[in-house]
Every structure is written in structure tokens, then in C-alpha cells.
């Protein structure tokens, strides 16, 4: 699986309150959540984002609330992958559980807003087409790869019987 | 290699003799928790996956607390969905308006969690129950759906940070100040993916309410869970409830820790976290002149009876400063009732505070105290992110109930001693 798109760049400690503010948590509708994605950190994001685009952060991306609405909003907005130096742990497992690809990469400082990235998920390789650079990421452990391969945690559990 | 408290509880629930940090395990759950925001997403996933029954109707707790009593039509629809799910599956521990409370105050109060248990909750502050010696952690709605259906969750076994508490606290220093001090020291990702394990002689200085407050904020340091060694204080608290049998896990003497911190409680001063991260801490003597518009005393962090008691002690016979709105929210129906019996509500009302029925309300910017552009609030809650309590141009300062109550009286962030002379 591969994806290609432009970068939306953010700093360290992007919290789930700015990804999807609580005032919009009175719905579980994916498209409605997506329409408010990043409202309190980047109000114009919803106008700029195109299918396939990539979100890039620093340390501790997705910290704060456990709201699964955050990865859901990001995924439904069209983002194909989130890349960060590290992820807050609940966001990390929620992203896996809802099927939003995430990659841990130490070199996110080299990636700028509007850079074009091509991501090869199988090899965990990120190509920066704008800068002609390549970054390697940590592959998921086998257990988690199996969850993703089954299409998420619930499907995986259902397949165990 | 020996195991930490958290590792032992995980191993026991995975049916394993031993676990190692980094190991991925599947474990059996003692309790799954959801609220009125996270449960609807879980119910949708539960039904989409084709599940028709829950694994154990006694091991699921659903608490309507975030936007209840419902703040708008959409919130009402969400609560309705939870109510119907609970009725359909005959969920024993379903708490709605009239018997609810802020979830992490309610579950310990009801005796639904005990030492040695493995608990997940679709709310990040589920780490609160580590105060009682449980392994307890926040997860998302899909994990809740799986938990409700199968009674299982996957975990990566965490490394641990050990906090050895020593010394005696000064007057007006509470668990809130201790945990803010720790988050200020290690940062908002200082415990990322790790357990925070609290031990040492200083534990005797900390009431269960102090410990619940500290474990509650483990997530604000990025922690997977916070857990306290079980002692006489814990066992006495659990015995009072007598619903479940505690199982005490102690860390092995040769357990390994990623780091060990010694925290001398006598050195800790009242501490305030400035906007917009819980790690931006200053001690009360460093805060300077910060004028405020609002005070909120409540939440899963500091809405318990001892929090109400210290607020009442400070507000007794005084008035809230002109231009300041003070909102006090006892965290459960029982705490509310005790506040009435003990005369605290009279004190709050006479001081010019608004007192609300239990709700998470303003903590997450839901309702019941939303801030306008440029406004500042001292809150006993747990997060001060951009826009957390309202407008993105507003500011939240996290503090203890003692500092919040004193600040309500002076109209600026103040030490309790300033108004108690």
C-alpha cells in the first residue's frame, strides 16, 4: 500500500482538544467530525486538505483526551497518514483500531508544510519528493500488523473465535 | 528479572507467569467503562462488527457525565443511544442523571474497582483507579466495543518510572500540587508509554482523595497508568465499600525501572500550571499578578469531598471578588449531599458561588462555564490546552482547590495563606 500527498505540518504536543474540540463531540458522524478537524489549531485546514494528504507533527502527537473522534476526524478529512516523532499512547492505539495509518519517524524536522511525500507502508519508507530525501520509519510489531491486516481490532477479535 | 506492580497485574490477567516491557499481550478485563461521548462511538462499532451480546453485564459501567444533564439536542440523542444500549443489554452499572457522578469519582465511591484489577475506560482519566492499586488505563471507543463484547484488550507491557515519596506535606499542599510538581519536572510526555508507580514512606501523608487526584493526572505526563502501592489507607477505603475482594500486588525487589525519582513532599509548594500545557508549572510564590475572570472547583481530578471541604474552609465568611464567577461542582450525588449536610453549600452560596449538579461540563469546554476570548480561569481540572474551556483566546490555570478558592476571593491567583490570615 502506498500513498502520496502534500504535508500539513504541526509542532510538538498536538492535543486531541485542538484536533476535534469538545464542542463538536455531540456527534459520532464521521463526516461531521471531519468538517471541524483541527478547528482550534488550524481553522483553514478543512479548506486546504485534499485526499491523500499527510499530517506531520513532532513529539507526543495526539496527547490528551481518549476521544476516538480525533483519529476518525483526521481519517475522514482525507488524510492518508500521520507522521510524528512520537504519539501519545491512546491516540496511537485508537489510530490502529480505526485504521488510520501512523508512522513514527525521528526526522520530521526535515519535512516542511506543502512538501510532497510518497509513503510506502510495507517498507515503512517515506520519500520527500519536494526535497528528494528518503526517511526510514519503525515498522509495526507483528501483532499490530496482524490487527491492521484483519482490518482493525474488532475484525481481528471476530476472526479468533 | 522482577516485575513492577503494573507488570504483575497484566501478567496475572493474561494468564502468564512473567511479562517483559514491550511484550504485546491479550488480557482479561475486570471492568470496562464508557461515558456519554465515547459510548455512542463504541455502540456503533459494536453493532457494525455484528456483536449481539455483552461479555458480562456486571463488568461494564456506563456513566452519563460529560454533557449531562444534556446541554443540547445532539447531546441528548447521544445519551439516549447509551440509555437504550444499557437497557437492551441489562447493564447493571448504568448511571444517568439523578444517580450519576463524574465517572472517576463515582466508580471508586461505589466500590466498583478494587486493588489488583485490570480496568479499561474510554476516557483518558481512567488511570485514576491506580490510586486503589488497580491497573487502569484509558483507551478509545473501539477498544471499549471489543471490551464490552469479549472482555479482552491488547496491551503493550509498559516500562515503569518509580516515584519514591518521602517527607511531610506543608499546610495547603495537596495531591494536586504534588502531581503538578511531577509533571512540571518530567514534562507532558515524560512518562510516555510508561507506568508511574508511587511508593515510599510519604504515602502515609496522602489521603485516598490525594492519590486519586495524582493517579488521575498520570495521563498528563503521557503515562499509560499511575499506580500506588496498597497500604492500610487503601485497604481501609476498600473495606468500607466491601463489594469486591482486593488482591494486593507488590513490586519485586529486583523490578527494573526506566528511572527512579525521589520526591520530598516537604519541599513542595502550592503549584499552578500556566497555559497551555500542564507542564508549564510555577510555584505559588512565582506566579506574579495574574487577574482572573472565573474559578471552577470540581471535576474527576478535584471534585471529591475533601476538595469541597478545603474550598469551604477558605470561602467561609468571605465573598467572591467582584467580577469573578466561581462555579463549584461536587463530583457525585453523594458528595453533593454530604456538602449540604456539612453546610458547605451554604458557605458557597453565601460567598456568591454558583453550585452545580455533578457534570464534567466546563472542564472540557462542554457547558456550564465556557470562557470568552481573553478570559482567564483558575480551575481544579486537569488540562489547560488551547481552547480547552472555551474560546481559543481564553486561558486555563490548573491549581488545587485551596489555591482556586483563595483566588476566587482575591480575584487573582493567590496562595491560600493570603486569605486565611
E strands, B76-192, where? Answer: 93-95, 118-121, 135-138, 152-156, 160-166
- CA distance readout (Å), B274 to B8, B175, B265, B381, B384: 37, 18, 22, 13, 8
B65 to chain A, any CB pair closer than 8 A? The answer is: no
The per-residue pLDDT for range B220-252, each reduced to its tens digit, is 999 999 999 999 999 999 999 978 999 999 999
Closest CB to B385 among A17, A93, A141: A17
A44 to chain B, any CB pair closer than 8 A? The answer is: no
Please identify, in words, the CATH class of the domain defined by A2-160.
alpha beta
pLDDT of amino acid A143: 86
Nearest CA distance, B147 vs chain A (angstrom): 10
Please identify, in words, the CATH class of the domain defined by B5-265.
alpha beta
Within chain B, which residue ranges are assigned CATH 3.30.499.10?
5-265, 271-416
- Interface subset of A 118-147, CB within 8 angstroms of B: 141, 143-144, 147
What are the sequence ranges of the domains in chain A?
A: 2-160
Is a pLDDT exceeding 80 seen at residue B58? yes
Is a pLDDT exceeding 90 seen at residue B421? no
Least confident of A133-142, B67-76, B166-175, B347-356: A133-142
Task: Using an 8 Å CB-CB cutoff, list chain A residues near B391.
Answer: none
Mean pLDDT along residues A37-52: 97
Threshold 0.95, pTM exceeds:
yes
| pLDDT band at residue A161 under the 50/70/90 scheme | low
CA distance B18 to B13: 11
Contacts of range B256-260, beta carbons closer than 8 Å, 24 or more positions apart: B256/B1, B256/B2, B256/B4, B256/B21, B256/B159, B257/B4, B257/B159, B257/B160, B257/B161, B257/B162, B257/B197, B258/B159, B258/B160, B258/B161, B258/B194, B259/B161, B259/B162, B260/B161, B260/B162, B260/B163, B260/B164
pLDDT of amino acid A146: 85
Q: Burial letters for B389-419: b for 16+ Cβ neighbours within 10 Å, e otherwise?
A: bbbbebbbbbbbbbbbbbbbbbbbbbbbeeb
- Three-state DSSP class for residue B90: coil
Q: Which of B385, B393, B398 is the mutation pick for testing A, counting most A CBs within 10 A?
A: B385
pLDDT of amino acid B96: 98
Mean pLDDT along residues B310-330: 98
Contact A154 B142 (CB under 8 A): yes
ipTM of the complex: 0.94
Question: Of A141 and B200, which is predicted with more confidence?
Answer: B200
Chain A residue with the nearest C-alpha to that of B193:
A89
Q: Which fold has domain B271-416?
A: Aconitase; domain 3 (3.30.499)
Percent over 70 (pLDDT), chain B: 100
Q: Mean pLDDT over all residues of chain B?
A: 97
Mean pLDDT along residues B265-284: 98
Amino acid at each position: 500500500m502506498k500513498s502520496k500527498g502534500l504535508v500539513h505540518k504541526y509542532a510538538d504536543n498536538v492535543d486531541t482538544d485542538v484536533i476535534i474540540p469538545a464542542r463538536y463531540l455531540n456527534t459520532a458522524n464521521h463526516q461531521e467530525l471531519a468538517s471541524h478537524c483541527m478547528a482550534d489549531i488550524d481553522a483553514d485546514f478543512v479548506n486546504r486538505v485534499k485526499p491523500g494528504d499527510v499530517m506531520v507533527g513532532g513529539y507526543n502527537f495526539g496527547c490528551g483526551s481518549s476521544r476516538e473522534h480525533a483519529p476518525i476526524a483526521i481519517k475522514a478529512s482525507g488524510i492518508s497518514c500521520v507522521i510524528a516523532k512520537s504519539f501519545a499512547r491512546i491516540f496511537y492505539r485508537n489510530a490502529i483500531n480505526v485504521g488510520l495509518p501512523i508512522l513514527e519517524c525521528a526526522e520530521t524536522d526535515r519535512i516542511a508544510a506543502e512538501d510532497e511525500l510518497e509513503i510506502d507502508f510495507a517498507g515503512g519508507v517515506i520519500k520527500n519528493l519536494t526535497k528528494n530525501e528518503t526517511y526510514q520509519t519503525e515498522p509495526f510489531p507483528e501483532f499490530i500488523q496482524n490487527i491492521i491486516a484483519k482490518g482493525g481490532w474488532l475484525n481481528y477479535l471476530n476472526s479468533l473465535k | 528479572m522482577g516485575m513492577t506492580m503494573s507488570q504483575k497485574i497484566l501478567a496475572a490477567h493474561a494468564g502468564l507467569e512473567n511479562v517483559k516491557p514491550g511484550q504485546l499481550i491479550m488480557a482479561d478485563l475486570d471492568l470496562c467503562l464508557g461515558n456519554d461521548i465515547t459510548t455512542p462511538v463504541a455502540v456503533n462499532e459494536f453493532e457494525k462488527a455484528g456483536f449481539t451480546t455483552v461479555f458480562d453485564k456486571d463488568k461494564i459501567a456506563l456513566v452519563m457525565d460529560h454533557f449531562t444533564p444534556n446541554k443540547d439536542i445532539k447531546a441528548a440523542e447521544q445519551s439516549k443511544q447509551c440509555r437504550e444500549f444499557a437497557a437492551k443489554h441489562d447493564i447493571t452499572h448504568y448511571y444517568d442523571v439523578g444517580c450519576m457522578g463524574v465517572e472517576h469519582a463515582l466508580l471508586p465511591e461505589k466500590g466498583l474497582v478494587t486493588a489488583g484489577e485490570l480496568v479499561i475506560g474510554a476516557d483518558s482519566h481512567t488511570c485514576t483507579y491506580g490510586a486503589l492499586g488497580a491497573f487502569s488505563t484509558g483507551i478509545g471507543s473501539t477498544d471499549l466495543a471489543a471490551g464490552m463484547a469479549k472482555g479482552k484488550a491488547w496491551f503493550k507491557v509498559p516500562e515503569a518510572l518509580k516515584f519514591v515519596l518521602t517527607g511531610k506535606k506543608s499546610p495547603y499542599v495537596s495531591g494536586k500540587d504534588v502531581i503538578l510538581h511531577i509533571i512540571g519536572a518530567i514534562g507532558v510526555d515524560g512518562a510516555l508509554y510508561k507506568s508511574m508507580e508511587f511508593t515510599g514512606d510519604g504515602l502515609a501523608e496522602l489521603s485516598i482523595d490525594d492519590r486519586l487526584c495524582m493517579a488521575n493526572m498520570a495521563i498528563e505526563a503521557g503515562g499509560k497508568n499511575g499506580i500506588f502501592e496498597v497500604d492500610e489507607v487503601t485497604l481501609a477505603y476498600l473495606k468500607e465499600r466491601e463489594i469486591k475482594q482486593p488482591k494486593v500486588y507488590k513490586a519485586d525487589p529486583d523490578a527494573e525501572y526506566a528511572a527512579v525519582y525521589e520526591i520530598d513532599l516537604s519541599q513542595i509548594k502550592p503549584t499552578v500550571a500556566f497555559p497551555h500545557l500542564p507542564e508549564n508549572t510555577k510555584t505559588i510564590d512565582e506566579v506574579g499578578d495574574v487577574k482572573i475572570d472565573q474559578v471552577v472547583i470540581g471535576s474527576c481530578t478535584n471534585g471529591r469531598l475533601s476538595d469541597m471541604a478545603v474550598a469551604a474552609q477558605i470561602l467561609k465568611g468571605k465573598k467572591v471578588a467582584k467580577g469573578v464567577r466561581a462555579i463549584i461542582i461536587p463530583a457525585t450525588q453523594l458528595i453533593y449531599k454530604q456538602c449540604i449536610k456539612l453546610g458547605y453549600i451554604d458557605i458557597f452560596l453565601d460567598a456568591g458561588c454558583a453550585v452545580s449538579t455533578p457534570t464534567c461540563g466546563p472542564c472540557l469546554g462542554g457547558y456550564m462555564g465556557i470562557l470568552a476570548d481573553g478570559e482567564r480561569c483558575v480551575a481544579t481540572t486537569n488540562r489547560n490546552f488551547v481552547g480547552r474551556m472555551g474560546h481559543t483566546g481564553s486561558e486555563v490555570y490548573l491549581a488545587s482547590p485551596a489555591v482556586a478558592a483563595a483566588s476566587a476571593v482575591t480575584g487573582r491567583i493567590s496562595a491560600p495563606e493570603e486569605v486565611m490570615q
